[in-house]
Structure 1
Amino acid sequence: MKVENLFYFTKYPLRILRKSILCCYIQCSIRSENDLFYTLNKQLEFSVFGWNWNALHDALSNFEDVKEKNIVIVHEKLNLQEKFLYEYILCLISATLLWKKYSHLHRFFQFFLI
């Protein structure tokens, strides 16, 4: 398995949003762990979510009930505190690798605006 293309960097989020079916947009105003959890839970409509990093990893790794094939998280700018940013990036990497390796039902993409 190739590890390339875990994250994408772009200037044009509207092109992404038009092609995506299930999309979450993380705005630069999100600064706290709870704001991040709230936004992800609300926009991605997790079936179960425990409001901690392990729960986020589990939720991002389990889109079995989602009908849409493409799942996209677009990050406007990450203004999280360093300890939260580290945990969040680890969750994204781990979940993305799981989807790339094991799933043919979904494609999970992370975009960061530059």
Structure 2
Amino acid sequence: MKIKNYITPLLVASSLGLISMSGYAAPMNAESKSTINTVSVNQHKGKGKILAIDKKAQKIKLAHGPIKSLNWGAMKMFFAVENKDLVDEVKVGDTVNFSFIKSNDGRFIIVDMN
């Protein structure tokens, strides 16, 4: 039997919404009641100088060098810091090595700094 005989009905059914060609993450075990939405978390590393600290908003402005994993050149930008202890351990003018992630809502969040 020819493959063409199967492809045309599948394409028609898919375009009509009768079947879905997209996937989803299913629960990992029988006890789970919700579908799991997984996101790949890439940690990026950089080195920079602290230009400003906003303790109330938990943000740090860095003048950082290139971030190779994101193909970024050197720039100045704010990063969110969710661990308040990291904000308390540094001061304006410090040069730091830092690791950060990009959150689902698009924020860049420092997760480690020394």
Identify whether the pair has TM-score above 0.5, normalized to the shorter chain.
no
Question: Which has more helix, going by share of residues?
Answer: 1
Question: Which has more strand, going by share of residues?
Answer: 2
Who wins on radius of gyration, i.e. which is larger? 2
The higher-RCO structure (CA 8 Å, 6+ apart) is 1
Q: TM-score, normalised by structure 1?
A: 0.23
Q: TM-score, normalised by structure 2?
A: 0.23
